[in-house]
Structure 1
Amino acid sequence: MPASGEVPVTNMLLYLMIAIAPTAACWTLLRLPRLARRLRRSTPVATNPPIERLAADLRRVHRIIVGYGPGTPMIRRTGALRAYDALLMQACRAVDVPHRLDQLPTGTPLEVERLRVEESLMSAGLVIR
């Protein structure tokens, strides 16, 4: 028979193993889906929309801007032009065309830069009109 000091320690270790093992196994099983999602998420995801969608949006917004008549409110024109500029900037990032659309003040310099960017995008092969 073992010494009296060893029995309680051995019994305590056995009790801890019996109590902790199922808990640890259940905890591991519950965490497996989260681990699988985290591993799946590590694949690269495109952050920009496809270039075809950008070109279609540019054509659509350009048609809207050209179609505005003389009685169109200024806020509508300004909103459409800002949306068009945002689409132009996204397209420039997608095809690596330099632009200064976000740095210029509203007015003639911005209009000239917008025309330059449109021509650069068209020469890069993007059909925007």
Structure 2
Amino acid sequence: MAGTSPLWVGLTIYALVTLAPTLIFWAALRVPSVLAARRRRSVGVPSRPPIEDLVADLRRLRRNLRAGGSGSRVRRVALQSAYDDVLLEVCEAVGVDTARLAATPEQGSERAFARLVAEADLESSGIELDQAGGGRAAA
């Protein structure tokens, strides 16, 4: 004996019964990750490393530059370039004007002078570039 309801009603009920659990589980797995992504976006990820890490990198590069002597010219130029990049980052993080250092060419006495001015401004803002004892713990 056939049912009194039309065929489309039966097929709709069958589709709901079979698809509903799949859709519910999919939503249960998907919604928390979407909400977590929104929460991360709203909090905001810092655009640069903490100032302590930047200053530690700056001091390490400064020590390597002062040690000098060993290595090729390519290594020295790369080390100087890395030092300048980190110096600019620290200056921006602290709020020191970086226009002079950023505008000077990569090599030459103008760059060295701009670097000295930026270092002096950093030290006057309270960042100690040369730690007491050369960065080592006292014995």
TM-score > 0.5 by shorter chain: yes
Distance apart, 1:76 and its partner CA? 2.3
Give the distance between the partners of 2:52 and 2:94, measured in 1 at CA.
12
Structure 1 moving runs of 4+ over 3 Å: none
More relative contact order, 1 or 2 (CA 8 Å, 6+ apart):
1
When structure 1 is superposed on structure 2, of 73-82 and 114-123 the one drifting more is 73-82
Give the distance between the partners of 1:67 and 1:16, measured in 2 at CA.
75
Task: Look up the equivalent residue of 1:15 and give its one-letter code.
Answer: Y
Gaps of 5+ in 2: 131-139
Q: TM-score if structure 1 supplies the norm length?
A: 0.81
2:26 maps to 27
2:17 maps to 18
Preserved contact between residue 58 and residue 87 of structure 1 (Cα < 8 Å): yes
1:115 maps to 116
Task: Look up the equivalent residue of 2:11 and give its one-letter code.
Answer: M
Alignment partner of 1:44 is 2:48:
no
1:95 maps to 94
Task: Look up the equivalent residue of 1:35 and give its one-letter code.
Answer: V
Q: TM-score if structure 2 supplies the norm length?
A: 0.76
Alignment partner of 1:53 is 2:57:
no
Question: What's the C-alpha RMSD, in Å, of the aligned pairs?
Answer: 2.3
Distance apart, 1:89 and its partner CA? 0.8
Give the distance between the partners of 1:97 and 1:53, measured in 2 at CA.
17
Give the distance between the partners of 1:54 and 1:13, measured in 2 at CA.
63
Q: Percent identity?
A: 34
Distance apart, 1:6 and its partner CA? 5.1
Preserved contact between residue 56 and residue 128 of structure 1 (Cα < 8 Å): no
Distance apart, 1:36 and its partner CA? 4.5
